[in-house]
Structure 1
Amino acid sequence: PDDTFSNPAGVAVFIIIYFFYIIGYTFASCVGNMEGNILTNDPKQRPTIGVWQVIYSYLSPMIVSMLITVILLPRFGTPYQLENGATDYSWTIEVFQWANLIVVGVSLVALILTCIGLTPYDKPENFEGIKKDAKPSFKEMFSLLKDNKELQRFIVAACSDKLAQTVGSQSVITTLMFSVLLGSMVGSSIISVVAMLPSIIFAIVGAKLAGKQGNRKVMINWTWVCIIWNVLFIIFIMVVPEKGASSMGIPLVIFFLLMLGNNAFKMVVSTATGAMRMDVVDYELYRSGHYLPATVSAVYSFIDKMISALAPMIATLVIGIVGYTGSRIPQASDELTIGIRIITAALFCGLPLLGWALTLVAMKKFSLTREKMEEVQASIDSQKKEIEQAENEEEKSQAK
């Protein structure tokens, strides 16, 4: 095995590279999260923009995961025989090395496409507040974080949505779910990807609903759907026969339907979350006259990175309860115990349930309904016209 990063010098190199990655990722995320406000201020159109963000955030990891499990794992993994005679594969360092190359390559292409797409909109007039040439100060940014209650509630909802997306997708959890419990890492991964494709339709449905009903209402209603569905998923995890989805049968069909619904319903919530971030930016402009999309995006990016960093740590700590400590990681050949069932259910469904409960609490007093956002946009347009008219009159008087 490659021991490049097992010595102090290797660790130092990794930390330095990762440090620069975090800086670049933060700047790129801030810019990427601002484009919705720049492209449109129509509450009906914003969820449609969010559709593409949601599709990318769900579909790209799924495609990369399928490439890894269907192509890299059989080629570089360690083969072993299942009880039914089929062949599956265990993870090796070579699999992770090639997987990293794929992820970095895909990320580079996506970053280049982002730069090309944003270039036509990178103009000073797209970043102005109520008053032209107004520069945001640190005091105004701090006021946004301290006084904008809607931002604070959005942060709670965004945290929970990110948690629901991230924790269950950790490799140790998918190994417990797909290999140890269901019986086939490759087969279950293919099923989960196939289940993802039809669920993309729900991202479009979510955008349509959010445009008509408002982001708050859609988030509340579909969060309840996610909660109910994941309770059913927990029941399935606790009662499905060991290796029950390793071949065609009722358990495999049920698993496919549960994955399909889980992906679809979470997409609706994620679509509303993305559009809600744009609403919070405009609400701050309405509330204080300050246009601070970068600050809101920075806060969201910080949350995104924090949850992304916490997710593997949470997963690693929890699986330690059932004996996966030190260098021991879940493998498909491991014996299924009741403890593994409980841990899998808790991480794959339980933590998202906790996050969705927090979302419902945060949304209870969230005031940015569809009607409120129409009022906000009308007020912003009116204030801009009044100031523009006053500036024009001042210029005319100075000319005289």
Structure 2
Amino acid sequence: MDDKKLYVAGHETEPYHRAKMWEIALFSLNNSASNFYLFAFGFLGFYATGVAGMATVVIASVLGLARLFDGIIDPAIGTIIDNVNTKWGRYRPIMLLSNIGLILSFIFLFNIHRMPIPTVVALFIGLIFHKIVYSFQQTVTKAAQASLTNDPEQRPLFSIFDSIFNLVVFTGGQLFVTRILFARIGAYNMEFYGNFLPLLCAISFGFTILAMFGIKRKDNPKYFGLGEEEGEKQSLKEYFSILKDNKPLKVLAFCGAMIKFAATVIGDQNFLAIFFGIIVGNYMLSGDIAAWTIIPQLAFVFLFTRFAQKKDLKFSYKSSVTIASIGLAAVIGLLLIAPDTRSLSSFSTLSIIFIVLWILAKISVQYPTSIVLTMSADITDYVTAKTGKFAPGLIGTIFSLTDSIASSLAPVVIGWIVAGIGYADGYPQPGDTLTPSIFMGGLIILGVVLASIIVTMIVIRHYPLDRKEMELIAEDIAVRKKVKEDHLNNEERTEIEIK
């Protein structure tokens, strides 16, 4: 983008503040750090039924109750983040403490069978604590975007780095689980968790530390909206005016929840065990496909990031969910016409078509979950221009709330569907016999995912923040910030003259 200058009271000012490329890259690791726990969360169902001895319906119900509690406290999390002001910054202390909290939450959750209290109670307590600390770290990823950069051409770059690092989380994680751990151990037992969880926690913590270095320079009040004064506080009551009549926030929060739900379901370990381990008949194929997805996913992200830079974020989001709906509908159609679904794992023409369609659907449904983080920063700027308030914590919390609801709802929906097809006491395991009820359960799960993607595709068209609107918002904030700085400078000069 050519440098664009504004003139306020005869003085030149710059409407955009930019980040260095390495700062964007490192900070994007904060999202990957929390996504490690989202990936690992998919194994909680196997642990709760196989080790702790809980029923699938009970697990689904406890997940729902914990999610309800988390939803009640989420606005308070946003308020806390927006009011943090330490000598180490606003975002970095929260990133560090919340990641340590995630480590402690998983130590607790995957040891509830050893607790002196009923496993249901222990699971509920562990889930509440986990959701709180998870929301804190997830919210910072969204909240700090507005401080990182407001350049319309630079903001979409976050999704490139985010996608690359998340390949390590989801693709690398799936390969590690299927090809190394599960292949060696052969079951989801305490030996498996004892090898898997410490490694996950260590990598996530390392990512968090690197992300803290990435945001260090921009974790500064002068990059907070109009430039906050130290000690300036936000109240929860004021936020109702921010949420009221905020169409961009409502539209994007809804779409973000729907697409996150879709992406979480088709990446859930219980679903993958049913889909690849039973319906397709080759559980290891899920790990292989994850590896084959790497290059196409990177190409997709680079291409759609370019679209976002040349057009806008809305265009990329809308195009991606459209492709996802077509790809997943084709996968469902292929399952219905295939004479034997297990032939899809044998390298025939039909299986190649299936793999290509699955990869396309998986990539295009995953991309919007990354770009929504950047779009939430646009909404923060929109609110600043409209109200003068800088509330990235609250806005980020809204997205963390919908993100957490969606990611928690995914195993709940899968659990109830699995219980409905006769697996009330445990989830189907890779290698179980393919029955009509399991096949129908898999189709129902895919149908629910497709429906959520189609709804997203329709609703996102009403999102109002396009490229032109964001350029006007950036100019408005720059002018108001310059006027505020000049006013403060005049007051300081007047005070000196009086003295």
Q: Same fold (TM over 0.5)?
A: yes
Q: CA deviation at 1:128?
A: 4.5
| 1:349-385 Cα deviation digits (max 9, x unpaired) | 3233222233234323321011110111111111111
Q: CA deviation at 1:2?
A: 5.9
Is residue 148 from structure 1 mapped to residue 255 from structure 2 by the alignment? no
| Matched residue type, 1:35 | A
Q: CA deviation at 1:388?
A: 1.9
Alpha-carbon spacing, 1:198–1:357, altered in 2? closer, same or farther (3 Å):
closer
Q: Secondary structure at the match of 1:102?
A: helix
Alpha-carbon spacing, 1:8–1:270, altered in 2? closer, same or farther (3 Å):
closer
Structure 2 residue aligned with 1:117: 214
Is residue 9 from structure 1 mapped to residue 108 from structure 2 by the alignment? no
Is residue 66 from structure 1 mapped to residue 172 from structure 2 by the alignment? no
User: Which structure 1 segments of 5+ residues have no match?
Assistant: 78-89
TM-score (norm 1): 0.88
> Given the alignment, which residue of 232, 250, 256 partners 2:330?
232
Alpha-carbon spacing, 1:7–1:35, altered in 2? closer, same or farther (3 Å):
closer
> Given the alignment, which residue of 135, 141, 157 partners 1:48?
157
CA distance in 1, matches of 2:288, 2:364: 20
Structure 2 residue aligned with 1:274: 373
Q: CA deviation at 1:203?
A: 1.3
| Matched residue type, 1:305 | S
| 1:185-219 Cα deviation digits (max 9, x unpaired) | 11332123322442122112121111111112222
Q: CA deviation at 1:14?
A: 5.3
Structure 1 residue aligned with 2:196: 99
TM-score (norm 2): 0.71
Is residue 39 from structure 1 mapped to residue 148 from structure 2 by the alignment? yes
Q: Secondary structure at the match of 1:33?
A: helix
Q: Is the 8 A contact 2:256 2:372 kept in 1?
A: yes
CA distance in 2, matches of 1:274, 1:316: 28
CA distance in 2, matches of 1:112, 1:93: 29
> Given the alignment, which residue of 295, 312, 315 partners 2:414?
315
Q: CA deviation at 1:32?
A: 2.2
Q: Is the 8 A contact 1:279 1:373 kept in 2?
A: yes
> Given the alignment, which residue of 257, 269, 283 partners 1:171?
269
CA distance in 1, matches of 2:173, 2:324: 25
CA distance in 1, matches of 2:208, 2:175: 21
Identity, in percent, stands at: 24
> Given the alignment, which residue of 26, 31, 34 partners 2:135?
26
Q: Is the 8 A contact 2:142 2:396 kept in 1?
A: yes
Q: Is the 8 A contact 2:222 2:228 kept in 1?
A: no
Is residue 375 from structure 1 mapped to residue 472 from structure 2 by the alignment? yes
Q: Is the 8 A contact 1:177 1:344 kept in 2?
A: yes
CA distance in 2, matches of 1:248, 1:124: 57
Q: Is the 8 A contact 1:62 1:193 kept in 2?
A: yes
Structure 2 residue aligned with 1:291: 390
Map of 1:303-342 to 2, 5 A cutoff?
303-327=402-426, 329-342=427-440
Alpha-carbon spacing, 1:190–1:121, altered in 2? closer, same or farther (3 Å):
same
Structure 2 residue aligned with 1:222: 320
Q: CA deviation at 1:395?
A: 2.9
Alpha-carbon spacing, 1:7–1:398, altered in 2? closer, same or farther (3 Å):
closer
CA distance in 1, matches of 2:239, 2:163: 27
CA distance in 1, matches of 2:323, 2:177: 31
Structure 2 residue aligned with 1:87: none
Q: CA deviation at 1:314?
A: 0.8
Is residue 346 from structure 1 mapped to residue 453 from structure 2 by the alignment? no
Q: CA deviation at 1:283?
A: 0.3
Q: Secondary structure at the match of 2:293?
A: helix
CA distance in 2, matches of 1:217, 1:7: 50
Structure 1 residue aligned with 2:36: none
Is residue 126 from structure 1 mapped to residue 235 from structure 2 by the alignment? no
CA distance in 2, matches of 1:333, 1:226: 28
Q: Give the root-mean-square deviation of aligned CA atoms.
A: 2.4
